[in-house]
Amino acid sequence: MRYVVVGLHAAGRSACQWLRRADPACEIVGVDPSAGSLYARPLISYVLDGELPEHALVKDSAPFFENLGVQLKRAAAVGLDANRKRLILDSGEELAYDKLLAATGSAPRRVRLEGDGADHVCYFRGQADLARILAHVKSGGVAAVLGGGLVGFKLTHGLVARGMKVKLMVTSPRPLALNVDEYVGSWAGARFKEMDGVHLMTSTSVVRADVHGQGLRLTLDDGSTEDVDLVVAGKGVVPRFAWLAEAGPETDQGLLVDNRLMTSVEDVYAAGDAVQASDIVHERPLLNAIWPNAVEQGRVAALNMAAKGPAQGPAYAGSIAMNAIPIFGTHMVSVGMVNPRYTEGCEFITTTCHRGSYLNIVIRDGVIVGAVGLSAVPRLGELAHAVRTRMKVSRIPARWLKNPRNAAPLAGNTPWYKGSRVGA
């Protein structure tokens, strides 16, 4: 049995581990142009703000894959012949597979600007992006950050830590419009307004970028201009799956999959950012391009790929939006459905306790569908569990809400995490 894993990042690596665990004798081939390095992309923000030294970001991947017995192909996939079960690489080589996992992730969403400076806009996705930004970082200089989401936040923080003045330009009337509720969004906005070196510009878009001396001159939608040394955009991501388009998988924004994470193409599975899996809360395929989903999907896909005969691997329960970022000395966290655009008509339970923590639980039809909080990380884990298991709000003891700091956990007798216990 030969498994080919295309893309060796969060989902691909997780899949390799679980394929090996499930099928000790199988052949695994990993395909990735940057297969030689091992790192977690999201950590680039910790390098930017100096929390993590640059050298700690990337490690040699050889020992990791060697231990798993994964054969590495440092090449990019450019095509898929599903009938012959062949993967076509940019080297021209064809690679036969029995089962294939598409885990090619996503790319930053490009901003479309007028002007000759448009190509100078940086993004914040991987190691190369980080290097490009660091090359332009100038202590005392001015940077424009486009996008008020989590990436924009991390960028702002990192660039300020590097001594730059940051103009944070947000299209929405408040930052984090999509990620948190109004309270936390406003709280974060207020913190940014207090922060030295940050100029938060809401309801603002850039329409044009021109090269201006060493830097760029940005033209905003109100016609005004801003001269900056660096422009970085954090406007979300776009799944990468063009390489297998010829094989004709069903797609929407990303690859569509069944509940075993198989695409509409036989024996081709998908996991990670490239996938538009069903969202647990919204009950429809949505992009939830975050690390834990990718790793979990990698595992579930692998176990289904390795399932023999009529046996099936675990069903994928669905993806979920979930984020935690340490910011302003606390953790800002959200899970499930919290975007006010979707939570209209929902009920809310808001609970606060001393030391500035805040927790807002979103309830729809008596079921917990989301939660957002400040300084409430550990408890958000339980609420994420509640969201996943569609826990009824009536099952949260009043005590828990009254005493979020000390209450016993919500999780009960049922092991909720039903990944199969391979080898147990």
Partner 1 sequence: MQHKTVIVRPELCVGCMQCAIRCAQAHSATKELATAVFEPVLAKPRIHIGVGVNPQGVLKPFPNKCRHCDPAPCQEACMPGAIRSDIAEGSKVVDPALCIGCGMCAMACPYYAIRYHHDLHAPERTITAIKCDNCHDRQKKGQIPACVEACKTGALEFGYVNEHIKKGAGRLANAAWSMQS
**What minimum distance in Å lies between the beta carbon of 15 and partner 1?**
12
**DSSP code of residue 314:** P
Stretch 40-59: interaction string toward partner 1, x if CB under 8 A:
x-xx--x----xx-------
What's at 412, amino acid-wise? G
The sign of the CA dihedral 64, 67, 73, 76 is negative
Which CB atom, from 82 or from 383, has the smaller least distance to partner 1?
383
Q: In this structure, is the dihedral angle defined by the CA atoms of residues 65, 68, 70 and 76, taken in order, positive or negative?
A: negative
Judged by CB under 8 A, the chain residues 2 through 21 that form the site for partner 1 are 10, 14
Q: Where would I find the beta strands (DSSP E) of 221-356?
A: 225-228, 230-233, 237-239, 268-270, 322-327, 330-336, 347-353
Q: Is 384 in the site for partner 1 (CB under 8 A)?
A: yes
Near partner 1 by CB under 8 A: residue from 121, 333, 338, 368: 333
378 part of the interface to partner 1, by CB under 8 A? yes
Minimal distance in Å, beta carbon 140 to partner 1?
A: 26
- Contacts of partner 1 in 348-377 (CB under 8 A): 377
Query: Using the rule CB under 8 A, which residue among 34, 76, 381, 401 binds partner 1?
Result: 381
Please select the residue that binds partner 1; options are 95, 255, 335, 393, rule is CB under 8 A: 335
Answer yes or no: are the C-beta atoms of 124 and 231 closer than 8 Å.
no
Q: From CA 167, how far away is CA 226, in angstroms rounded?
A: 9
CA atoms of 74 and 53, how far apart (whole Å) = 26
Question: Residues for the chain: how many in total?
Answer: 424
User: For partner 1, which is the closer residue by CB, 248 or 397?
Assistant: 397
- CB nearer to partner 1: give 65 or 243: 65
Burial label for 295, CB within 10 Å (0-12, 13-18, 19+), is buried
Answer for which of 121, 325, 359, 369 binds partner 1 (CB under 8 A) is 325
Distance in Å, CB of 182 to partner 1, minimum: 21
* Residue 183 phi, psi dihedral angles, 5° rounding: -60, -50
The site map against partner 1 for 396-415 (x = CB under 8 A) is -x-xx--x--xxxxxxxxxx
In the complex, the smallest distance separating the C-beta of residue 371 from partner 1, rounded to whole angstroms, is 10
Angle at 58 between CA 56 and CA 62, to 5 degrees: 125
Q: In this chain, which of 107, 324, 346, 401 binds partner 1, going by CB under 8 A?
A: 324
Q: Which is nearer to partner 1, 265 or 337 (CB)?
A: 337
Region 279-318 residues binding partner 1, contact defined as CB under 8 A:
291-292, 295-296, 299
- Residues contacting residue 239 through CB under 8 Å, at least 6 positions apart: 105, 106, 253, 254, 255, 273, 274, 275, 276, 287, 289
Strands 225-228 and 106-108: unpaired
CB of 56 to partner 1, least distance (A): 8
Query: Which residue's structure tokens are 């996008």?
Result: 147
Give the residue with the Cβ less far from partner 1, 215 or 313: 313
Q: How many CA atoms lie less than 13 Å away from 42 in the CB half-sphere?
A: 15
Give the interface with partner 1 as residue ranges (CB under 8 A).
10, 14, 40, 42-43, 46, 51-52, 291-292, 295-296, 299, 322-326, 331, 333, 335, 377-382, 384-385, 395, 397, 399-400, 403, 406-417, 419, 421, 423-424
